[in-house]
């Protein structure tokens, strides 16, 4: 029997739940590390779902927001506080800009413009290949400190 994508994702979904339950009930880190056992169980569930892509990655990333308060590892407020970190918003902003650039092929336009502008001089090939990423890195560093 040939496995298709649906079967593999379903297998990963249930394997993640089974791994979560196995770690929760059968793994023992000692009585003083009860929360570590629950965190390891949630991590095994998330890792399995990420590997098999059983659910969308955005949903997988929100699993601790549901399971940490449910299992008593952290309160809802302290768990949600970790999702509202300024660094997280910096990454989200970068991802949004990257998706917008990719959607409108702006990254290709910029690269082609730079190559067209500097193509006549073969000695500056190094500059052609390294200028666009360098400028984006400088721009992101400037925006990061604003």
Which structure tokens are listed for 130? 């390294």
Q: What is the pLDDT of residue 146?
A: 61
Rg, the chain, Cα only: 23
E-state strands within the chain: none
Report d(CA 88, CA 53) in Å as an integer. 22
- At residue 18, the pLDDT reads 96
Q: Where are the domains of the chain?
A: 5-75, 86-144
Q: What is the Cα–Cα distance from 36 to 34, expressed in whole angstroms?
A: 5
**In the prediction, which pLDDT does 4 show?**
80
Stretches in the chain below the pLDDT threshold 50: none
Cα torsion 27, 32, 34, 36: sign: negative
Contacts of 36 (CB under 8 A, 6+ apart): 29
Q: Is the pTM of this model over 0.85?
A: no
């Amino acid at each position: 029997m040939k496995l298709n994508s649906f079967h593999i994702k379903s297998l990963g979904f249930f394997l993640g739940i089974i791994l979560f339950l196995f770690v929760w009930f059968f793994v023992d880190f000692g009585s003083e590390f009860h929360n570590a056992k629950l965190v390891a169980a949630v991590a095994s569930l998330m890792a399995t779902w990420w590997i098999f892509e059983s659910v969308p990655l955005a949903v997988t990333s929100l699993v601790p927001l549901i399971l940490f308060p449910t299992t008593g590892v952290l309160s809802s407020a302290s768990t949600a506080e970790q999702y509202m970190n300024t660094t997280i918003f910096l990454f989200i902003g970068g991802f949004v800009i990257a998706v917008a650039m990719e959607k409108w092929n702006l990254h290709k336009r910029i690269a082609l413009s730079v190559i067209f502008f500097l193509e006549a001089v073969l000695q500056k090939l190094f500059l052609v290949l390294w200028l666009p990423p360098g400028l984006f890195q400088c721009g992101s560093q400037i925006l990061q400190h604003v």
